[in-house]
Amino acid sequence: MTRPLDVVDLGCRPYREVLELQRALRLGRLDGTVPNDLLLLVEHEPVFTLGRGTHQASLPMPAEQLRARGADVVEIERGGDVTWHGPGQLVGYPILHLSHLREDLHWYLRTLEQALIDGLAGLDIMAGRNAGKTGVWTNGRKVASIGVHVKQWVTLHGFALNVQPDLSWFDLIVPCGIHGVEMTSIRRELDSRETDAALWHRTLATVTEAFGRAFARQPRRLLAVAELPLYPSHHG
């Protein structure tokens, strides 16, 4: 029998708030009070996150200047370099107990990439990997970034898929520490006449389905964070 995956649509929320939610749910998943693996889906207010691998050269502009432009700057425990999150970008935070799947970080990263590649294929975008670089690419441009943290084999952080963001935010940094990288979005690659809302919801649906297939989980949609009280570890 396929295990369930609880999918929670958080809407648009500040990064720090969702970070604390992830940490609380990880503890609940670890001690069993959170019964199922989860996928949190969210759109953030503008924020630059600095992973453990962030190089000074990846931040041409000091943090205080980035904040002056209206974005938060947060140092976090995930792997990888600096990236940006903000409106128009679908961010996914899987809270998975890998002991019930496979205790293998390399496998987890590659499976996460495959879920996004398959989800993009459902949108008629041919995407793939770039050898030696974590993330998902299409036509030589990067469309999704991945940065994770695993503690006691329960996952935190995850992926950021550019649906229709203002890509100029990436010009303020060296995204993921990759010099010369060109960022793109689903909107740019499709050149679609769909409304923003229609493209967003279609992307959310295809990515959720692909994620479930990749990790052998059955998505069970929870419409909003208000339905999370069934998880005692949620303190927000």
Report pLDDT for 227: 62
Is 176 known to be catalytic? yes
From 79, 81, 130, 131, select the one nearest 105 (Cα to Cα): 79
The mean predicted confidence, pLDDT, of the chain is 90
pTM value is 0.92
Higher pLDDT, 6 or 192: 6
Indicate which residue of 160, 176, 214, 222 is catalytic: 176
Report pLDDT for 233: 43
> What tens digit of pLDDT does each residue of 76-102 get?
888 788 899 999 999 999 999 999 999
> Under CATH, to which class is 3-230 assigned?
alpha beta
From 96, 123, 88, select the one nearest 3 (Cα to Cα): 96
Report pLDDT for 223: 62
Contact 15, 221 (CB under 8 A): no
> What tens digit of pLDDT does each residue of 143-167 get?
999 999 999 999 999 999 999 999 9
Could you tell me the sign of the dihedral formed by the alpha carbons of 93, 99, 101, 107, in that order?
positive
